[in-house]
Amino acid sequence: MLEAFRAADNVLRQGVQGISDLIATPGLINLDFADVKTIMSNKGSALMGIGVATGENRAAEAAKKAISSPLLETAIDGAQGVIMNITGGTNLSLYEVQEAADIVASASDEDVNMIFGSVINDNLKDEIVVTVIATGFIEQEPEVSKPQRNPLGQGLKQNQSIPKKREVKREEHQQSSSQPRQNTQSSDDTLDIPTFLRNRNKR
């Protein structure tokens, strides 16, 4: 457990030191506070990784370690803003700087805004240190459960009984309205008969 805490503290120390070195240490390809502000200002969450390597493929290995640190919660895939700084000895070549930058850029978003710098440190002989700060991730919004709705077809089936009731009411209304007309028609017919004929019929 103590070793795990030491490893976490070491990563935190390297992160703070890496940001301070980006701002304060002059380099062959210099990075300053304006570059850090451009990448990190209003860009949401940020990830930081540091990789150290030696040997023939030291630049590529250090870059891969920086973007795949086991202590990082997520990878830098989809990052839209990246600052990368590579620090090496006097034998650091421009090819190694470009190689490390290509690896970091390929792991980021296609339209990534990448700023990289390079620092020469005489104390580093065969080592190369790659520091990466990635921002601008597209955060996924939590899914909100929507209330279930009945399909349109079922709603129409349930409502089909309403027109039938209306038709029944119309028929009843027509029947009730037709009866007074018949009565009025019969009364009109009796009025057309002369009075003496009506009295004769009553007898």
> Which residues, listed in sequence order, are joined to residue 117 by a DSSP beta bridge?
85
What mean pLDDT do residues 155-170 have?
Answer: 52
42-77: pLDDT as tens digits: 777 778 888 899 988 999 999 998 888 665 566 777
Greatest mean pLDDT among 11-20, 54-63, 73-82, 153-162 lies in: 54-63
- CA–CA gap between residue 114 and residue 109 (Å, rounded): 10
Q: Which of 51, 43, 54 is nearest to 78 (CA)?
A: 43
pLDDT at 202: 58
175-184: pLDDT as tens digits: 555 555 555 5
Q: Distance from CA of residue 80 to its chain's centroid?
A: 14
- CA–CA gap between residue 155 and residue 132 (Å, rounded): 57
Cβ–Cβ under 8 Å, residues 36 and 23: yes
Is pLDDT at 190 greater than 80 in this prediction?
A: no
